[in-house]
Structure 1
Amino acid sequence: MNLVDMKNYLRLDHSEDDEMLSQFIAAAKSYIVNAIGRFVDGNSQFEIVVKMLVQHWYENRGMYESGTTGSSIPFTVENLLTQLRYTDDEVQEDEEKEDQRSAAPSDLSKENQDSR
């Protein structure tokens, strides 16, 4: 995850917040490592959680008190963190490779089905 990817995700075309975004990216990675106990390089869920956390922190820069709305970590992020915590990287990579090998043919048009 780099600054350019993050700015594209946030649809930002200015550089005024680049330093803050870089700090948010580093903080999001640390947050995830603290939550799951490891860094998951190249994992798409890890990248999504980084993006979601940075977006959340970028859009909610104020401080909030406990019990008020607006500042809690989104439910989707918590669910993805739980999956990352209990997923073995090697097993997930093997499953992704197997899914790619056994994917259905891309042409499933009605014409091909009728000709059987």
Structure 2
Amino acid sequence: MTDRLLERVKQNLILEHSEDDALLEQYIAASVSYAESYQHIDEGYYSTHAMPTTTEQAVIMLASHFYESRDGSTGGFFADSTNASAQVWNTVNLLLRLDRNWKV
């Protein structure tokens, strides 16, 4: 799964080199962990279960966002709008909500 996600994140970022692969893998791990927590599923769930496409898209978007704003600012794709960063989080959470385990 990690190799597939790494390739998808790099495609999303239009990144052709592999110099930042270790950094991207950390961002992917953080994004998957966030997804599992948000969806109320066990930590490590996606290491043994298939990830739904909506969750995969959220992970790709979130890892890309972490990479693009790694200096703590809203750089990269988000430089033209201060609200764009918040919109990324809104979209990610909406995608993750589709596969959420709604426990009571």
Q: TM-score, normalised by structure 1?
A: 0.60
Once the two structures are TM-superposed, the CA of residue 71 in structure 1 deviates from its matched residue by 5.0
Shift of 1:45: 0.7
Residue 7 of structure 1 is matched in structure 2 by 10
CA RMSD, 1 decimal: 2.3
Q: Indicate conservation of the 8 Å contact 1:35/1:81, yes or no.
A: yes
Q: What is the identity percentage for the equivalent residue pairs of Structure 1 and Structure 2?
A: 38
Aligned residue among 39, 51, 65 for 2:60: 51
Q: Which has the higher contact order (CA 8 A, sep 6+)?
A: 2
- 2:35 match: 32
Equivalent of 2:70 in 61, 71, 77:
61
SS of corresponding position for 1:52: helix
Structure 1: any 5+ residue segments left out of the alignment? 88-116
1:75 to 74, 77, 90: 90
Report which of the two structures shows the higher radius of gyration computed on alpha carbons: 1
C-alpha distance in 2 between matches for 1:49 and 1:62: 21
Moved more, 34-43 or 70-79: 70-79
**Number of residues paired by the alignment?**
84
Task: Check the 8 A contact 1:25/1:54 in 2, yes or no.
Answer: yes
User: What code does the residue aligned with 2:63 have?
Assistant: V
How big is each residue's C-alpha offset from its partner over 1:16-47, in whole Å with a ceiling of 9 and x where there is no partner? 21110010111110010111122452310111
Checking the alignment, whether the CA contact within 8 Å between 2:32 and 2:59 is kept in structure 1 is yes
User: C-alpha deviations, 1:35-65, integer Å up to 9, x for none?
Assistant: 112245231011101101011111111336x
The TM-score with structure 2 as length reference comes to 0.66
Residue ranges of structure 2 left out of the alignment (5+ in a row): 74-81
After superposition, the Cα gap between the structure-2 partners of 1:8 and 1:63, relative to the gap in structure 1 and judged at 3 Å, is: closer
Check the 8 A contact 2:52/2:99 in 1, yes or no.
Answer: no
Moved over 6 A (4+): none
